[in-house]
């Protein structure tokens, strides 16, 4: 009888172990699937990309023999060269840079959280800007804010003027912003092809304000051919103790263009 009871107990324990094993396997599988699904958001897309776009050949197809235009573009090596047609010329192919890298622009994070803004405690957040421009040769990236950091009710955090005095910054000149009693919103740049006035990580500028009809600021530019040029933009906000509470938000417009 005792033996039989032990057998039942063993059987129950085996069943429980089986259940645990299944549970662990299912949970592990779930964790893996869940994790991989989420990590897709943070995939590093900054690695060099290389792509031959056969569609480019079609770009000028059908129109090349027209007697009414000359076309010269940077769209593919297959059609490179110079063609004559009834007094007009069609040019295709890269004019001076032998490259098939498209013009590419990346922002590592387009939702930049500054967190809960605490008076006299600067909040910062970063995002990386990357440009590949082998085919374009020369490029610029500009930035402008649509308006100040502000709440829906209209309370605004002013654009920074940095530490003030000799360290007063503007939309075109960076200056030191390290004082915790200097309030505002601004940005710093570190990395490739950035404006020279961003001497180090303490130098900031305010964004130009689109609502005030300001012109965008050039935050990256280069006249030299290269690829995967990367910079880090640090956003900084510091509020005073009398700043009303609320969700302060703005939109930054980045425009990346090759040269001509």
Candidate list 36, 87, 165, 166; residue touching another protein; CB under 8 A = 87
Instruction: Determine the interface stretch with another protein among 121-129, 158-166, 173-181, 198-206 (rule: CB under 8 A).
Output: 121-129
CA-to-CA distance for 132 and 139, rounded, in angstroms? 9
Question: Residue 189 CB, nearest distance to another protein (Å)?
Answer: 14
Tokens 């092809």, residue located:
193
Instruction: Determine the interface stretch with another protein among 99-107, 164-172, 175-183, 198-206 (rule: CB under 8 A).
Output: 99-107
Question: Residue 59 CB, nearest distance to another protein (Å)?
Answer: 5
Q: How far is CA 232 from the centre of its chain?
A: 9
Instruction: Determine the interface stretch with another protein among 61-69, 159-167, 168-176, 197-205 (rule: CB under 8 A).
Output: 61-69
Q: What is the DSSP letter of 130?
A: E
Q: Is 16 in the site for another protein (CB under 8 A)?
A: yes
Q: Is 50 in the site for another protein (CB under 8 A)?
A: no
Candidate list 77, 85, 108, 192; residue touching another protein; CB under 8 A = 108
Tokens 């039989």, residue located:
4
Instruction: Determine the interface stretch with another protein among 119-127, 167-175, 176-184, 197-205 (rule: CB under 8 A).
Output: 119-127
Here the tokens at position 112 are 């930049």
Rule CB under 8 A: which of 134-163 touch another protein?
Answer: 135-138, 140, 142, 145, 149, 157
How many chain residues interact with another protein (CB under 8 A)?
105
- SS3 readout for 135-195: CCCCEEEEEEECCCEECCCCCEECECCEEECCEECCCCCCEECCCCCCCEEEEEEEECCCC
Here the tokens at position 132 are 């590949």
Candidate list 178, 180, 201, 253; residue touching another protein; CB under 8 A = 253
Q: Is 20 in the site for another protein (CB under 8 A)?
A: yes
CA-to-CA distance for 196 and 76, rounded, in angstroms? 35
Question: Residue 81 CB, nearest distance to another protein (Å)?
Answer: 15
Nearer Cβ to another protein (56/231): 56
Q: Is 173 in the site for another protein (CB under 8 A)?
A: no
Candidate list 177, 198, 203, 248; residue touching another protein; CB under 8 A = 248
Rule CB under 8 A: which of 182-241 touch another protein?
Answer: 196, 215-216, 218, 221, 223-225, 235, 237
Residues with Cβ within 8 Å of residue 129, at least 6 apart in sequence: 105, 106, 107, 108, 141, 191, 219, 220, 230, 231, 232, 233, 254
- Determine whether 100 is exposed, middle or buried from the number of CB atoms within 10 Å of its CB (0-12, 13-18, 19+): middle
User: Taking a C-beta distance cutoff of 8 angstroms, is the pair 145, 209 a contact?
Assistant: yes
Q: What is the DSSP letter of 102?
A: P
Q: Is 53 in the site for another protein (CB under 8 A)?
A: yes
Candidate list 77, 83, 85, 103; residue touching another protein; CB under 8 A = 103
């Amino acid at each position: 009888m005792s033996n039989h009871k032990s057998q039942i107990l063993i059987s129950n324990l085996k069943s429980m172990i089986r259940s645990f094993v299944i549970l662990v396997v299912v949970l592990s599988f779930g964790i893996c699937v869940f994790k991989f699904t989420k990590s897709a958001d943070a995939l590093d897309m900054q690695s060099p990309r290389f792509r031959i776009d056969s569609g480019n050949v079609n770009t000028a197809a059908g129109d090349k023999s027209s007697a009414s235009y000359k076309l010269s573009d940077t769209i593919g090596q297959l059609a490179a060269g110079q063609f004559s047609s009834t007094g007009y010329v069609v040019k295709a192919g890269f004019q001076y840079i032998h490259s098939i890298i498209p013009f590419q622009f990346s922002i590592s994070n387009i939702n930049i959280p500054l967190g809960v803004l605490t008076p006299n405690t600067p909040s910062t957040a970063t995002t990386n800007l990357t440009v590949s421009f082998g085919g374009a040769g020369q490029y610029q990236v500009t930035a402008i804010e649509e308006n100040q950091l502000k709440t829906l009710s209209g309370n605004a955090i002013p654009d920074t003027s940095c530490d003030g005095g000799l360290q007063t910054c503007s939309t075109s000149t960076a200056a030191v912003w390290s004082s915790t009693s200097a309030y505002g919103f601004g940005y710093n740049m570190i990395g490739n092809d950035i404006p020279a006035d961003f001497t180090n990580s303490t130098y900031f500028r305010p964004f130009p304000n689109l609502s005030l009809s300001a012109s965008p600021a050039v935050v990256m530019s280069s006249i030299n051919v290269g690829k995967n040029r990367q910079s880090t933009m640090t956003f900084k906000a510091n509020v005073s103790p009398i700043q009303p509470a609320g969700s302060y938000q703005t939109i930054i417009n980045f425009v990346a263009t090759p040269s001509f």
